[in-house]
Structures are given as C-alpha cells and as structure tokens.
Amino acid sequence: MKIILVGIQGAGKSTQGNLLSKKLNIPYLSTGHIFRVLAREKTPLGRYIKETMNAGYLIPDKKTVEIVSDYLKRDTYGNGYILDGFPRTLEQVKMFKNGVDKVIYLKVSDKEALWRLSYRNGSGREDETLIAIRKRIELFHRLTEPVLDYYRKIGILVEIDGEKSIEEIFKEILKNLQRHKRIEK
C-alpha cells in the first residue's frame, strides 16, 4: 500500500507515520528527514537545502520530485511506503509517477500547530524558528491545499481530525485504510 500523509508542520505526521509503519509493516519515509540529512552534508546541494529550509521556503518542485523518486526506487519501498511531506504542490503531483493508494490529511488548525511546535522547540532544529514555521504554514495554505483538493476530487483523500489524541487519530486512520482494502478486493 502506498500512503501519503499530509498536514501542516506540527500536525503529527511523523508520529502517525511511525505508528502506521509498525502496524502495516511498510517503511515510513519523511521528506523533511531526507532534506535535514542532505542539509548536514558539506556539499553545494547540502548548503543550498540548509539555507532554503532555514529561511522557511520549500525545495523547488523538480529537485524534490527527483530526490523522493530516487529514494522510492530502493528495494525497501518495493512493497509500499508511507510518505510524509510530499507532494506539497500540484506541480509535484503532476511530476510524481510512483502511484498513491490513499492520502491521509491530518487536519490541525494553525493555532494548534504553533502551540505543539512551541513545546517541541527543544529539538534544536534550525528550521524550526517561529519565522520559518509561520512561513511554512502560510506556504501550506497557498500551495498544498490545492493538492488536497486534487486528491479529494479523485476520491483517495481521507480527512482526519488531527487535534484528537494520538490513539484516536491512529484508530481513525486504520478504520479508513481497512475500508479501502475492502473496496480493493
């Protein structure tokens, strides 16, 4: 099964992605993690990614699709994956040729996301300054909400109230995925 998790920063995508990975026995891949690893490299690409992320901007669509597609070619992802943080724009949706079974949107208000991130801020991540977070939330609304509309129109978007408890959210996601499997059969 190929699952995409979507939501603003602080929505709980990595928490749910890791829980789903264990339950469904398919790997979890976060584009944010990939970019943070690349940003630590002392290469032109690494410096570029670090500067772009620290300013709160998104990595350009073509470069993002190229990086994610390369990762998904690995044997590890041959039987499916849970992908967090991608695609973020309609352009990425159009360029991404790997297929998707379900898109799970963890819906969280901006206020809730900022509150959660302020408690997580001890992580020491340079890309989690208040300015960078607010910029990414603004970019989410402008660039990623059309992606949600696209997946809604083709019938694979599941909206989950991301402000419930971790356990309630997880149960709701599993219930929706089981419904998908019954339809698939």
- Architecture category of domain 2-184 in CATH: 3-Layer(aba) Sandwich (3.40)
Are 90 and 146 within 8 A, CB to CB? yes
Q: Which residues pair with residue 106 across a beta bridge?
A: 160
- Which residue type, as a one-letter code, is found at position 86? F
Entry pTM: 0.82
pLDDT values of the chain reduced to their tens digit, one per residue, 185 residues: 999 999 988 899 999 999 999 999 999 999 888 888 889 999 998 999 999 888 878 789 999 998 888 888 889 998 999 999 899 899 999 999 888 999 999 999 988 888 877 766 555 555 567 777 788 788 888 989 999 999 999 999 999 999 999 999 999 999 999 876 654 44
Residue spans per domain, the chain: 2-184
Are 78 and 67 within 8 A, CB to CB? no
| Dist CA 83 CA 48 (whole Å) | 23
